[in-house]
Amino acid sequence: MEYRIEHDSMGEVRVPADKYWGAQTQRSHENFPIGVGLETMPREITRAFGILKKAAAMANHTLRPEKMTDEKLAAISQACDEVISGELNDHFPLVVWQTGSGTQSNMNANEVIANRGNEIAGKKLLHPNDDINMSQSSNDTFPTAMHIAGVAAIEDRVIPAIDELVETFLRLERENEGIVKSGRTHLQDATPIAFSQEISGWRSSLQKDKKLLEAALPELKKLALGGTAVGTGLNAPKGFDTAVAEAVSRLTGKKFETEENKFHALTSKDELVFAHGALKALAADLMKIANDVRWLASGPRDGLGEIFIPENEPGSSIMPGKVNPTQCEALTMVAVQVMGNDAAVGFAASQGNFQLNVFMPVIIYNFLQSARLLSEAMHSFNIHCAVGIQANREKMRHNLHNSLMLVTALNPYIGYENAAKTAKKAYKENISLKQACVELGFLTEEKFDEVFHPEQMI
């Protein structure tokens, strides 16, 4: 491998000749051999840095035209566009497990954009710190990148996946109107419910989760940029914070604004904790939905067997013909991972000391993993399972009329205690509710038939 010599304030460093990064990136690459190739800084953060560095150059061009010239802005903008598109991903090698402020990832962006910008300009035009990092600090750029990436993950990935699954459930509600089945509470038989009503519970849960995520977005759309090192805005021109937020908004098509209190923005990560809490709520509901589906599909002969789900692959290496609810299992594993991530995000956010939180890379790594896994798992569950859910009408009807909890319909006519006696006698003697009720003398056969209509109990 060929190398070139780069330098920083600590001296000279050998850097691979075919890479745009510089000395500080190389030092971090060598000093943190932790999770290399497996836990690289999320590409959503790389993209967010491209956005914020271009936005910063645009704001500096307006506020400091003598320093951020037209020529510099043009070179920076083109290099940033390549970062945003992912063309330069190979030039961002750093892992999550680095300095807790994300300083080296900020410098990685500065060095790559400067070196690529100089190549575009055909001369030594840009300096990583003086030009690309103008009016900024790692301490305000990394939290800004976190918010940009977090908003994009929720709006562009998670919410569309929710909408997709909601549409499937709405269709299933319409298709299954009029089908009545046994309800279940405490895993025991309960009073009847329409299958469409059961599905509506799944659908409504997802719609509520979407509202919770949307409630988190306004605070996530407030940016720390302009606070620089400790929140005072040192070395940033007046108005830079609002100008750069407006530029980020133009570049993303999303309405961002500057955080009013930069001292809060640098040290507190409560917006990400709150938003991840909404992701955890979504995970909890998806766990419930997936478990409902696999229980209802259990069998095919010795389980509940009230619904059919798509059969996607063989389920056993030893039991021929076995098929398992694998999409449900994948979705529930994702839910477990998100719940674990929520603990990590919360613990990390509690570690803001004085003017900075230095657990930021692990916060955004877990946050973005949760958003990615949830969106991909919902999409997979939808196309490989939910769209193919079909009611087993015969089994639903059998279970409905076999349920002892239909006795609840008799409460207004024979009272709770007599209804309980009826149910217990029917269960103990393995006879119908009608036979038990008549034998106990609580109702005549004619009266029982008049008041007992399971399909009307919903």
Comparing CA positions, the residue from 143, 109, 134 lying closest to residue 221 is 143
Per-residue tokens: 394: 């015969």
Backbone angles phi, psi at 272, to 5 degrees: -70, -35
Helix (H, G, I), strand (E, B) or coil at 80: helix
- Convert 67-84 to b/e letters by CB count within 10 Å (16 or more is b): ebeeebbbbbbbbbebbb
In which residue are the tokens 């999770």 written? 35
In which residue are the tokens 């940009």 written? 148
For residue 81, the Cα-to-chain-centroid distance in whole angstroms is 26
Non-local CB neighbours of 454 within 8 Å, separated by 6+ positions: 180, 192, 400, 401, 406, 409
For residue 110, the Cα-to-chain-centroid distance in whole angstroms is 29
Tell me if 344 sits within 8 A of 352, measured CB to CB: no
Q: Which secondary-structure segment (H or E) carries 227?
A: none
Selecting among 316, 317, 398, 432, the annotated active-site residue is: 316
Backbone angles phi, psi at 49, to 5 degrees: -65, -40
- Listing DSSP states for 343-371 in one string gives HHHHHHHTTEETTEES-HHHHHHHHHHHH
Non-local CB neighbours of 229 within 8 Å, separated by 6+ positions: 137, 139, 140, 355
d(CA 425, CA 325): 37
Non-local CB neighbours of 428 within 8 Å, separated by 6+ positions: none
d(CA 113, CA 95): 19
* Catalytic residue flag (residue 7): no
Beta bridge partners of 357: 352
Per-residue tokens: 73: 């802005």
* Catalytic residue flag (residue 398): no
Helix (H, G, I), strand (E, B) or coil at 237: coil
Within the chain, how many helices (H) and strands (E) appear?
Answer: 17, 10
Residue 340, exposed/middle/buried by CB under 10 A (0-12, 13-18, 19+)?
middle
Comparing CA positions, the residue from 226, 261, 262 lying closest to residue 243 is 226
- Residue 228 DSSP class: T
Q: Which residue numbers are catalytic?
A: 186, 316
